[in-house]
Every structure is written in structure tokens, then in C-alpha cells.
Structure 1
Amino acid sequence: MGVPAARIVFDESDRATVADAVSEILATGALTLGPWTERFEQAFATEHGASHAVAVASGTAALEVVLRTIGVQGREVVVPAVTFYATAGAVLHAGGRPVLADVDPTTLALSPQSVEAVLTPATAAVVLVHIGGLITPAVDALRALCDARGIPLVEDAAHAHGSSYAGRPAGTFGLAGAFSFYPTKVVTSGEGGMIITESPELRDEARIYRDQGKGAFTANHHVREGASWRLSELNAAVGTVHLRRLKEFVETRRRVAARYDAALAGLDGLTAVTEPAGVRSNYYKYVALLPPGVDRAEFKRTLAAEHDVRLSGEVYDLPLHHQPVFAPYRGAPLPAAEDVCARQICLPVLSDMTEDETDRVIEAVTAVHRRLAG
């Protein structure tokens, strides 16, 4: 057996617990906004040191709801060029205009310098993305910059369940954090998202927006332009069960990453995106940069064909300003984003990865690197 790019881990005990929960939910008929959603919200808030959590249908919905609550319509929102479509897509859906900024190549995140370069009087928010689960140590400086300008800092923490910096969990550095529970994430509910915040006002607004803008669940009284962003009870039960494994999963992924760090240090020109001091990543992705001139597609093909090792998708292979859908928002070149997107690969990190699988990846990457970059 080879090493897959990703593996979704629910052991026999998890599956039995989920099955019992599904049976209970179907028996009661409470299929949405019920007790399992509340349990999931409470458990996730506790796990991430937050006062409030609001479960929604997806990580994209979580971002859009936060941005709608801020009120970005007709205004600018700064987002990094190195991120998934949804970060900027949520800005558009909320009526804002995405302003694409360059990143620090050592963290793949916004820097205070790259943000300050694009701030204008029309800036309504800044969205910081924790790529691969890595929180930039510049997060405090970014928050200070935003505070000085009266601009909310929002965290796209879709990758960062259980990550922290200086002991503070992802999602707690800004006005709100938005998480995703897409199947490949470290914690999944199948589909879903979560907002965490210290603001009771944002929590209340988010609850309104997620349920078609209704002022109350039981009333047909619409006070906001909301949508169907509810999380089903079935998804909430899956997420609640999976969340119990978060610490275990993160420890496994960190052990794998530590072995990759040691192995890659001996390969000339292959540079890992490593943790800065004070950062504790969940290693949702293990990102490394190929030497300039190495054909990434050929590197990946050779790993798969000759070693049966498959790399997970890059984060990301195209910066947002090169995505056709964002052509109207292109500005000046963003050289750091363009370089890291062109050269990055993601080694497989699995929540139940074995030592033999880790060895196989290291041996395969070493052999292919020697052939293509030696």
C-alpha cells in the first residue's frame, strides 16, 4: 500500500458514537439548530478559549457572516494573495471589494508591511489566513496596526483547529475567527463551519444571519439579508465526536512534521516552511518549497508513479490575483506570493500516520529530489 494524500480518520468507537447520535436525532426529529449544535458550539469554544461560538454551514459561510456583521458592503477588505478562493469570495458575497496583498514567504501570511501598503480610507476589514495551520508571529503587530486604524481584524482559521501562538489559540487574535469542517480538515463534521468571538453582539448577529435573517428561530420575522447557513444536527453530531480527537490528531501530525523537518534539512534547496518561535501548528499541511527551476508536476508524478506516494494539493498553486475570477481586482505584481505558489508542495500528513508511512515519504522525496534537483 502506498501513502495517500489525505485520510479521514474515524475509528470504530467514533463510528459507533456517531451512529448512536444519528439514531437519537432521527428519533426526535430535531434535525437542525438543536441540542447537538449547541454541544458542538460549546465544545469548540472551550477547546479554542473563546466565549462564544456559532455553527454554520461552511467555513465560507462563517467568513461571509462575519463580514456582513462588520458591514463591508461597498468597501474594501484586505486579503492575502496566498489563500483559497473562499477568502476573497466571501468578501464579494458580502458586498465588499477584495484588495489582494502580498505575503511573508516564511509564514505564507500577511505582514504588517504588506497590509499597510494597501490600506485606504475605504478599508473595512483585514482577513488574516493561517495557511496550513501556521499562525504568523506578526499577528500581534497586525492587530495593533488594525486597531490603530479602527479596522477589524478577522481570522480565516479554516486550516488552524488547535493551532496556537504564544499559548493563544487560533481564532482569538481578532474580532472573530472562522473555521471550516470540510472533510479533509483536522476536525470534520462532513460539511460545516464555526465562528468564534468574544463579542456577544457579533454572536447574536451571526445567529440571525445563519437562519435566513430571522429575528428568532420560531418566528417568520426577517430582520437581515441572511441565508440558509444552518448546520444540520447530523453534521453537528459528527463534528462533536471528531473534536474529541483533536489533541491526539495534532500530536500525531506534529510528530510526522518533526521527522520531515529533520529529513528535509539535508536536502539542498528544498526548504520547509517551519514554525517560528512561539508558534504551535496543527500541521494541517506540511509545506515545503522546491528549488527554483524544478518542475513541480514532474516531481509529483515521479513520487506517485515510482514510489506510490501522493502529495496533497498545494496551498496554493495559483495566487488569487492570477485566478481568472479575480482578474478585475488585479493590481501591482505580488512577487512573494507568486514565488511561493509556483514552488510549494505539501507532503502528506495524516492524523493516524504510521512511522512506516513517514519513512516511505522521506525516502521517496529524498530519491526524487536527488534525481530532479541534484
Structure 2
Amino acid sequence: MVVPAARIVFDENDRAAVADAVTEILSTGALTLGPWTQRFENAFATEHGASHAVALASGTAALEVILRTVGVRGRDVVVPAVTFYATAGAVLHAGGRPVLADVDPATLALGPDTLRAALTPDTAAVVLVHIGGLITPDVDALRAICDERGIPLVEDAAHAHGSSFQGRPAGTFGLAGAFSFYPTKVTTSGEGGMIITESAELRDEARIYRDQGKGAFTANHHVREGASWRMSELNAAVGTVHLRRLKEFVETRRRVARRYDAALADLAGIEPITEPAGCRGNYYKYVALLPHGVDRARFKQALAEDHGVRLSGEVYDLPLHHQPVFADHRGGPLPVAEDVCARQICLPVHSDMTEDETDQVIEAVAAVHRRLAG
């Protein structure tokens, strides 16, 4: 049996519900910014304890729109070096300058010290990323640092659907949160993104930006430098259907993660990124650090070829300050980011993962660890 790196789960009932929705949408001809978009927004806001939600074409667009609304053009935005290109890319697209910061090795997120070290007199915003769906226990301290300086905290919650800290959902700790619905996410709309916020002003601005900067959907009256960032009704219907299973999917993933935690505790040198106290993560990714000196490529190859266990790409194998596209924003060394990016792997976690698959992964990791790190 092969355990894939990722698996997208739509069961028979999901597929039937989506098919019914598509039939409805195609029969009405309302293909964008219609009732399914509003349903998806309302359901997502309710699920995450937010007053407002705005659906967009991607998580990257969601983050860029927040930053445009904040007004980062020509100013600095602090971004952790351990994140996907899009986090800093959105800063550039919004006209800002990404300032790349080191991270806390326990959470792969910004910490109070790394944030303070990255702040400048011209910092316009701070972006906190919830890697793998885990929310740092320093989230309130990070917010306090931002509040002291009058700087908005923005959450890149692309990984964090359904995650929470001390009962508060991801996306509700700062001014706004940006979520992604790329196909591998815990819930997906195929492609798409979502902003959640308590700010009615930001909600209204986001609606303008997503529709080519138009002041109204039916008017050719442009008031912002927006773009085509609308979510289609077809994507919104898929997202609405899939969102219904979020709690079920998260519980399955958490069950797998608990078994991984127990198994990896017996393997010397492997360091899982464990769930902080007070956090309830969705385990979009299960991240572990290999022992120093172990060749990651050989480790992954042995898992795949000898045990049928395939690992996804890391989150992430190259910190942003080593990405060629950000050469002009490199700054100095960021030792923690460099270390964790060089050693991390992501074990398979699926929303319908079976006990047999979990056993196979655990046994494979133990066997390869004995051979390469024992």
C-alpha cells in the first residue's frame, strides 16, 4: 500500500451536493458574486467567530487586499522568513517592502524577540503566519507589541482553517486574517481565499478591491486600483459544501497527529513541532525536524522506495531570505530559519487517514531512522 503525500477528500455525498449546486448555478446564470459566495462568506465567518468575511480568488489576493487596505505602499512590513513566497509576495504586490524576520524554533512563527529585531521606524504592518495550522502561544504578546506602536497585526492563516488558541479561532487575533482554499488545504473551494475581520470598513474596502476597484458591482465606476480577485460561484459552492466537514476533518487529523507525537518521542534526534499549550491545531501539516547531519533527500527517498510512504514538500525547504526573488530584501543571516528549513519534513496527514496508513508511516519512519540516524 502506498501512502500518498496528500489526499483531497470529497465523498459521495459531497460530490452530489456540489453537483446539485452547479446545476442550480448554471441554470440561473449567476456565475460570480452571487448567492453562493454570500453563503460561503457567512458560513466561514460563523465557523471562525468573525463578524465579516469576504471571498476572493486566492489566499494571496486576500492577503494583498488586506495590506492594500492598511496602506503599506512605500513602507516596511515584517514577514517571517519561514513561510511561502506568497506571504512576502503579497507585500511587494501591495507596494510594501518585506522585512524578513527570524522565527521561534518551537513554533516556526514570529516570536516577541524576533519581531522586535525586525521592526523599523517605518513599519506599516506585521504578518503572523500559522505554519501547519499551529498558533503560537506568543500571539497575544505579538499583538501587544504591535498595539504599542500603532501597527496592525495581520494573520496569514492560509494553513489554519479551524485552528484556535485558548478558544479563539485563527484569523481573529489581529486586524484581519487571510485564508487559502488551494486544493490541498483542510477545506478547499478548488481555488480561492477568504478575509475575516471585525472591521466593517476593511470588509467594504475588500469588496471594492476584489472587483476591479469598482464602487459598485453594477457600475463602471472605479475608486481603487483593484483587480479581478472575485471568487466564482462554482468555487464558492464547492467551498460551502466542503466547509461542512471541517470539524470532522480536523478531528481525524488531530487523531493522526497524536499517534505521530507518541511514536516520534521514541526516536532520538527527531524533533516534532508539537502543539503548544492552549492551541488546538488543525494539523494541515505535521512538521518534524530530522537530526543534524541526516540527508533529507535520502530519508524521503528511502521512505518512498522502501516503504511506500511519500512525503510532501517541506514548509519550507528554503527560507525567504535565501529565495532569489527576495535578494534585494535579504538583510543578515537568520540562523533559526536556516536551521529549521534545512531539517524539516512533513509526515502525511489526510482528512480520512486510516489506522493502517498511520501504522505504515510510523513503522517506515522508525525503520529509516534506524538506518540513517541510528
Shorter-normalised TM range:
over 0.9
Distance in 2 separating the partners of 1:42 and 1:313: 33
The aligned counterpart of 1:93 is 93
The aligned counterpart of 2:347 is 347
State the Cα distance separating 1:312 from its structure 2 match: 1.4
Distance in 2 separating the partners of 1:281 and 1:90: 25
The aligned counterpart of 1:274 is 274
The aligned counterpart of 2:151 is 151
Structure 2 stretches lacking a partner, 5+ long? none
**C-alpha deviations, 1:194-224, integer Å up to 9, x for none?**
0000000000000000000000000000000
Quick check: 1:137 aligned with 2:126? no
Describe the SS at the equivalent of 1:349: coil
**C-alpha deviations, 1:140-199, integer Å up to 9, x for none?**
000000000000000000000000000000000000000000000000000000000000
Describe the SS at the equivalent of 1:117: helix
- Normalised to the residue count of structure 2, the TM-score between the two structures is 1.00
State the Cα distance separating 1:276 from its structure 2 match: 1.1
Describe the SS at the equivalent of 2:118: coil
State the Cα distance separating 1:333 from its structure 2 match: 0.4
State the Cα distance separating 1:350 from its structure 2 match: 0.2
The aligned counterpart of 1:308 is 308
Describe the SS at the equivalent of 1:55: strand
The aligned counterpart of 1:15 is 15
Distance in 1 separating the partners of 2:58 and 2:330: 27
State the Cα distance separating 1:118 from its structure 2 match: 1.5
* Partner AA of 1:227 in structure 2: A
The aligned counterpart of 1:116 is 116
The aligned counterpart of 2:58 is 58
**C-alpha deviations, 1:100-150, integer Å up to 9, x for none?**
000000000001111111111110000000000000000000000000000
Distance in 1 separating the partners of 2:360 and 2:181: 29
Quick check: 1:232 aligned with 2:255? no
Distance in 1 separating the partners of 2:336 and 2:303: 27
State the Cα distance separating 1:313 from its structure 2 match: 1.2
State the Cα distance separating 1:93 from its structure 2 match: 0.2
Describe the SS at the equivalent of 2:196: strand
Distance in 1 separating the partners of 2:178 and 2:193: 7
The aligned counterpart of 1:362 is 362
Cα RMSD for the two superposed structures: 0.3
Instruction: Count matched residues.
Output: 374
Quick check: 1:40 aligned with 2:53? no
State the Cα distance separating 1:324 from its structure 2 match: 0.5
- Normalised to the residue count of structure 1, the TM-score between the two structures is 1.00
The aligned counterpart of 2:168 is 168
The aligned counterpart of 1:373 is 373
Mapping of residues 277-292 of structure 1, within 5 Å: 277-292=277-292
* Partner AA of 1:12 in structure 2: E
State the Cα distance separating 1:40 from its structure 2 match: 0.1
The aligned counterpart of 1:242 is 242
The aligned counterpart of 2:209 is 209
The aligned counterpart of 1:294 is 294
Distance in 2 separating the partners of 1:313 and 1:358: 19
Identity %: 86
Describe the SS at the equivalent of 1:357: helix
Distance in 2 separating the partners of 1:121 and 1:214: 34
State the Cα distance separating 1:332 from its structure 2 match: 1.0
